[in-house]
Amino acid sequence: MKAITLDSTKNSNLLLTEVQEKGVSEGEVRVSIKAAALNHRDEWCRQGLYPNIKDGVILGSDGAGIVTELGEGVDKEWLQKEVIVNPAMNWGENQKVQSASFEILGMPGNGTLAESVIVPVDRLHTKPDHLSWEEAGALPLAGLTAFRALTYKGSIQPGENLLVTGFGGGVAQFAVQFGLALDAKVSTSSSSKKKLEKAHALGVTHVFDYQYSNWTSKALTNVDGFDLIIDGAVGDTLGQLIQVAKPGGKIVFYGATLGNPSKLEARKIFWNQLQIIGTTMGSDLDFKNMVSLVCKKKIHPIIDRVFKFEEAEQAFDRMRDGKQMGKIVLVP
């Protein structure tokens, strides 16, 4: 089958190649991929900036498709079902934190950027009817991360002021859409005027360009502080987020694209009773509840562009350069 593997001997670190299909073991299914999507994790893997990466592994955590083969012990009902795949493997029973054997589909094991992927049957969820294949393939990892950040970690309540930073990002666009669906008063930031116009059109009340350092004064004048901030950048922007958080507010971060902060206003954090909280993907229950919300509110993932597998390098470069508005999708 056709697949995109990590290959550090190539200039692009990617190889579109023919891979021998493996057999399906007990409790597993083969899903024929209709659409897969990129997460920044795939780009970190390509750049060698992710732990335990190995050449030859098929990249990709997001995917949707049709079940074409069942391993022993799998209910026959699954055959030919249209599904999405939960890429959070072995989370375990503890809602607070993943188990020590937690893994993400698509490194170190083979992922979704292939004509088919083999996963344990318990990773399958029925594809939401209102989504196209491209939208369904774009949902899993970023949708799960945004949902847990907002709900389990952020405990967002109707009417609360929510700020989601970097609206163009895969996780961020879900955090904005889920925040709106949960009746929060949503604001967002971006480096792009066009992306902020898109956010306005969705129902976001206040938008900020994070490239201008005075965006924080504008936020404080217009919004009077945020109850919850969802961020994936951190770096020295954390200091700005601390300034615009309401006393008693929460900052939930799921990534650190800009690295660690060089300094931290510790006094402001304790005096204002702020909570700075980390989050990673989500439990099986988070995934189930995320899909329920998407179905109930008929939420559509924002698709930036759809590329063919043959155009993988362009797709990864687009993510590296931060040009995307929403999810970058790849189809076999």
Ligand X SMILES: NC(=O)c1ccc[n+]([C@@H]2O[C@H](COP(=O)([O-])OP(=O)(O)OC[C@H]3O[C@@H](n4cnc5c(N)ncnc54)[C@H](OP(=O)(O)O)[C@@H]3O)[C@@H](O)[C@H]2O)c1
The residues that touch ligand X, with contacts defined as CB under 6 A, are 39-41, 44, 142, 145, 165-172, 189-192, 195, 210, 232-233, 237, 254-255, 257-258, 280-281, 319, 322, 324
Contacts of 329 (CB under 8 A, 6+ apart): 35, 36, 37, 38, 134, 137, 138, 303, 304, 305, 306, 307
The residue behind tokens 């995917």 is 63
Q: How far is the CB of 316 from ligand X (least distance, A)?
A: 10
Nearer to ligand X, 209 or 311 (CB): 209
Q: How far is the CB of 197 from ligand X (least distance, A)?
A: 12
Neighbours of 106 (CB within 10 A): 27
Nearer to ligand X, 83 or 149 (CB): 149
Minimal CB distance residue for ligand X: 255
Nearer to ligand X, 132 or 280 (CB): 280
Please provide residue 104's backbone torsions phi and psi, each rounded to the nearest 5 degrees: -110, 135
Nearer to ligand X, 254 or 309 (CB): 254
- How far apart CA 255 and CA 39 sit, in angstroms, is 12
Q: How far is the CB of 75 from ligand X (least distance, A)?
A: 30
Strands (E) located in the chain: 2-6, 14-18, 28-37, 62-70, 82-85, 88-89, 103-104, 116-120, 124-126, 161-164, 185-190, 206-209, 226-231, 245-253, 275-278, 303-308, 327-331
Q: How far is the CB of 224 from ligand X (least distance, A)?
A: 21
Do 41 and 255 form a contact (C-beta atoms < 8 A)?
A: no
Q: How far is the CB of 61 from ligand X (least distance, A)?
A: 9
Q: How far is the CB of 325 from ligand X (least distance, A)?
A: 7
Q: How far is the CB of 225 from ligand X (least distance, A)?
A: 18
Nearer to ligand X, 195 or 250 (CB): 195
Nearer to ligand X, 225 or 235 (CB): 235
Residues in the chain: 332
Do 142 and 164 form a contact (C-beta atoms < 8 A)?
A: no
Do 156 and 179 form a contact (C-beta atoms < 8 A)?
A: yes
Nearer to ligand X, 91 or 167 (CB): 167
What proportions of the chain, in percent to the nearest 5, are helix, strand and coil? 30, 25, 40
The residue behind tokens 């402001």 is 268
Neighbours of 42 (CB within 10 A): 31
Q: How far is the CB of 70 from ligand X (least distance, A)?
A: 30
- How far apart CA 187 and CA 122 sit, in angstroms, is 36
Q: How far is the CB of 190 from ligand X (least distance, A)?
A: 3
Do 16 and 2 form a contact (C-beta atoms < 8 A)?
A: yes
Nearer to ligand X, 30 or 40 (CB): 40
Nearer to ligand X, 70 or 252 (CB): 252
- How far apart CA 12 and CA 313 sit, in angstroms, is 7
